[in-house]
């Protein structure tokens, strides 16, 4: 399932709100991403089991799989690294957080761009 921009922004806000004494980097990497990876590797992220005519399914949120949460964690860590690079190594957590939110804008419209489309002299498409 593809996570929406609103869902990614909500998770980032939740992580930032619950940061505690950690830095934003620690909260994203050590407390969120590493925990999700450990859950998956250790088998704690069982999403579905069946047996004896019964089936049980566990989800973090309806429709999210453990792989979706790992993807989210990776995206947030990548976004953090990008923002840290853009703002400089001495940027504050608040500045990085604001930049991350600013860069997570939903696509609300699009239009076709045919500016590089050309017709060859022979009449065919190039």
pLDDT, tens digit, 9 for 90 and up, residues 79-123: 999 999 999 888 999 999 999 999 988 777 778 877 777 665 565
> In this predicted structure, what is the pLDDT of residue 79?
92
- Alpha-carbon gap, residue 109 to 69, rounded angstroms: 27
* Three-class SS state of 28: helix
Q: How confident is the model at residue 19 (pLDDT cuts 50, 70, 90)?
A: confident
Structure tokens at 108: 């609300």
């Amino acid at each position: 399932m593809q996570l929406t921009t609103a869902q990614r922004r909500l998770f980032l806000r939740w992580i930032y709100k619950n940061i505690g004494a950690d830095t934003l980097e620690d909260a994203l990497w050590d407390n969120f991403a590493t925990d999700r990876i450990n859950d998956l590797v250790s088998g704690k992220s069982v999403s579905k089991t069946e047996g004896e005519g019964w089936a049980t399914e566990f989800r973090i949120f309806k429709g999210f799989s453990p792989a979706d949460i790992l993807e989210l964690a990776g995206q947030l860590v990548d976004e953090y690294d990008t923002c840290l690079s853009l703002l400089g190594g001495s940027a504050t957590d608040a500045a990085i957080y604001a930049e991350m939110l600013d860069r997570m804008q939903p696509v609300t419209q699009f239009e076709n761009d045919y500016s590089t489309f050309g017709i060859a002299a022979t009449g065919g498409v190039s």
